[in-house]
Chain A
Amino acid sequence: MSQRNRLRFMGAVGVSLASAVLVAGCASGGGGTGQQLVIGASVSLTGDFSDSGKAVQRGYQLWADTVNATGGILGRKVQLDIVDDASSPTQVVTNYQNLINKDRVDLTFGPFSTLLTIPASQVAKRYGYAFLAPAGGGPKMFEQNLDNYFFVQPAPTIQSGDVFAAYVLSLPADQRPTTAAYAELDDPFSAPIAENIRQKLEAAGIRTVYKQVYPSETMDLSPVMGAVAAQHPDLLVGGTQNEDAYAQVKSLVQLKFSPKFLFQSNGANSPLEFPDKVGSANTEGIMAPADWFPGSTATGSADFTAAYVKRYGGSAQSVDDSSAEAYAVGQLISAVAAKTNKIDNPTIISALHSGSWPTLLGNLSWSANGAPHGEFNLVQWQKGKLLPVYPPSVAQASPEAPRPNWAG
């Protein structure tokens, strides 16, 4: 290469590098100094958690669109940088490292499930990012004692059934169940919920006549429900996820055993899936925990519901809880910005650790380790609708107890 060509080559490289730096700076929003507020999130768009992951994505996007329609956050338009983690705890770490170091996002939002949130929150902590997550309420999450972590639901997951125990114990003595059965999935988000309930009910004198934990690979729950039916308990608590919740109900219907009280920690709170799987008529009277429900009067709930239905179709009953929880994550960012007039990670972390913050899930506040202080609501299937029935402050209907026999 001649001297002249070498100079021309070096000049071209220099111009290219300068241009690249300039373009990169613009694209990243300047790491917080540009016009856009770039928020990165790793979401399970494929793999085991993809249904819930997509619901989370819808919630994030709906919030971003809503704030952008009103001028953004402190005048900065929100731009979401969402990547797929394929439901993998390894990929989620890579994703957040890329979002923070390569894409230089201003803020991060959490993924779906405790399995992914634990490693993801550690990455966020390393780089001083606030980490608000719509899912990730398992005990191991809070054992990390991360001060940058905020679980955006009313209470840690294993306490979600406490509201059912509170409801049962609120009943007059002559209406209370006297015997109870507990059929629990061997899963960190299922069995502990039922166990919490059992301890409270046993302490109040409700006798346990059956308690078994079944492995997650149990396909046929008929023998388990047969053993429950043989004991004729007044109350059955299912520490469930989705598939086994459906199987429990189907088996009970087939065995013609209908407990007076039936609570399931998961599965029964799915407004679309549950009636589809067990038959709409068989849902009557079944109870479940919920943090959000259609018709909620909590902050922004009506706007969220209207925007969701307008954007994604369906009805208020078809809105996935995970979308509401993801939307609440965004609501908290808006609230911090409105209150402090700043939007950066240290401000978010310090602000959320003090006071109570209104969201469509209710007012939220957290312990130092990110565990929320509130409690879930109790919802019950009544005439094909999932309605909040306890505590009375949020109830839209009176609890139906005892529940009727199966429709068949």
Chain B
Amino acid sequence: MHALIQGIILGVLTAGVYALMASGQTLIFGIMKIVNMAQGALVILGAYLSYQLFTSFGIDPFLAIPITTVIMFMVGVAVQLVFLRPLHSDDRSQLSVLVTFAVALLVEGVMSVIWSTSDRSINTSYANASWTVLGYQITLVRLWAFLLSLLALALLYLLLNRTRFGRAVRASVQNPESARLLGVESERVAAIGFGLGAATAAAAGSMYGLLYPFNSGSHYDLISRLLSIVVLGGLGSIGGAVTGALIISVSSAVVASTISPSWSQMTFFVVLLLVLLVRPRGLFGAAVRGAI
């Protein structure tokens, strides 16, 4: 029972970080109908940037988030302008999988050259601190990461639902042609949207670097998990990404701690398959799609 409850606690706290990563993924799909295979690589790039700011300048990874998100926003915009905008709109969804995978490999190569392939880890003074509550350990970093992820997701929600840009995004998602006729610059929205997706990857990357050792190849394991989360939650739905992250993170942590870590990895694919059998568009895909 102790292992089960500890597993649930760990799963819930970790879910926040995955939700943040996946929200960028689902945002990009929602705006551009692009499955961004580079999201995992962008998360790891965010972790490296945070690592560099910490080791070179002593900037705390949480405090580094405003810096890394701005940098990664610009990287995201550049990726959209250089690699995705030239794609013909009819083939964009299919070709984007290949193009963004190529971007992931490019980012991985650049990271390997700059930081080598050695494992890195961001070790702050509080990296291993935890609170004991009723005999269970609440890891400080995971708790902060969870809270910060909720804050970032709330800001993203406000941006999309309470701002002019958000209205433009939602209009583009619901009906691109009509939005264009009404003066929405869809290409500009797409570039900013991709930039925002990359910015969420940066924020999540800072926290990822605090939680786990990482290297330039870490994104391969990450991307399958992120895709599972967004498909489970429903492509294009931020609420779905949060729910998907919660389900996948808690189920895999509970299975790992009570049954076997070998089954843990498979658990979320089983959950995914079961959900898709009942709801082919994911948990929130049908209801929320088009409204983000």
Partner-B contacts on A (CB < 8 A):
46-48, 50-51, 186, 212-215, 217-220, 222-224, 226-227, 229-230, 242-243, 246-247, 250, 253-256, 273, 276-279, 282, 406, 408
Contact = CB atoms under 8 A, between A and B. Distances in A.
B208 to A, nearest CB: 9
A212 B261 contact: yes
A229 to B, nearest CB: 8
Contacts of B215: 243
A218 B252 CA distance: 10
Contacts of B217: 48
A243 B6 contact: no
A196 B129 CA distance: 34
Contact of A277 (B121, B139, B252, B261): B121
Interface string B242-257: 0000000000111011
Nearest to A54: B116
A243 B119 contact: yes
B128 A282 contact: yes
B123 A186 contact: no
Given A50-B117, A212-B262, A217-B265, 14 more contacts: A47-B117, A51-B117, A213-B262, A215-B261, A219-B212, A219-B218, A227-B3, A227-B258, A242-B213, A246-B213, A247-B212, A250-B121, A277-B119, A406-B128
A243 B121 CA distance: 10
Interface string B121-137: 10100011110100001
Interface of B: 2-3, 6-7, 10-11, 14, 112, 116-119, 121, 123, 127-130, 132, 137, 139, 211-213, 215, 217-218, 221-222, 252-254, 256-258, 260-262, 264-265
Given A217-B221, A250-B127, A256-B130, A223 B213 contact: no
A167 to B, nearest CB: 27
B169 to A, nearest CB: 31
A111 B206 CA distance: 36
A279 B7 contact: no
B129 A213 contact: no
A218 B265 contact: yes
Contact of B262 (A214, A226, A279, A408): A214
Nearest to A47: B117
B220 to A, nearest CB: 8
Q: Which 9 pairs show the lowest CB-CB distances between chains A and B?
A: A214-B261, A223-B256, A223-B257, A253-B128, A230-B3, A226-B6, A277-B121, A223-B253, A227-B257
Contacts of B262: 186, 212-215
Contacts of B264: 214, 218, 223
Contacts of B118: 51, 273
**Most B-side CB within 10 Å, residue of A242, A246, A250, A279:** A250
Contacts, number: 116
Contacts of B132: 256
Contact of A276 (B121, B137, B252): B121
Contact of B256 (A227, A278, A406, A408): A227
Contacts of B265: 215, 217-218
Contacts of A51: 116-118
B260 A212 contact: yes
A338 to B, nearest CB: 37
A229 B222 CA distance: 27
Contacts of A282: 128
B10 A279 contact: no
A213 B261 contact: yes
A408 B129 contact: yes
Contacts of A186: 262
Nearest to A53: B117
A268 to B, nearest CB: 13
A220 B128 contact: no
A214 B257 CA distance: 11
Contacts of A223: 6-7, 10-11, 252-254, 256-257, 261, 264
Contacts of B211: 220
A48 B220 CA distance: 13
B236 to A, nearest CB: 26
B128 A226 contact: no
Nearest to A185: B261
24 contacts: A47-B117, A50-B116, A50-B117, A51-B118, A186-B262, A213-B261, A215-B262, A218-B256, A218-B261, A219-B218, A223-B6, A223-B10, A223-B254, A223-B257, A223-B261, A223-B264, A226-B7, A227-B3, A230-B257, A254-B129, A256-B132, A277-B119, A279-B127, A408-B129
Contacts of A218: 256, 261, 264-265
B31 to A, nearest CB: 28
A64 B116 CA distance: 26
Contacts of B261: 212-215, 218, 223-224
Contacts of B6: 223, 226, 229-230, 255
B119 A273 contact: yes
Contact of A230 (B2, B121, B127): B2
B104 to A, nearest CB: 16
B61 to A, nearest CB: 15
Nearest to B2: A230
Given A51-B116, A243-B119, A247-B212, A226 B129 contact: no
A214 B132 CA distance: 27
Contacts of B212: 219-220, 247
Nearest to A407: B128
B128 A408 contact: yes
Contacts of B2: 230
Contacts of A406: 128
**Most B-side CB within 10 Å, residue of A48, A222, A273:** A222
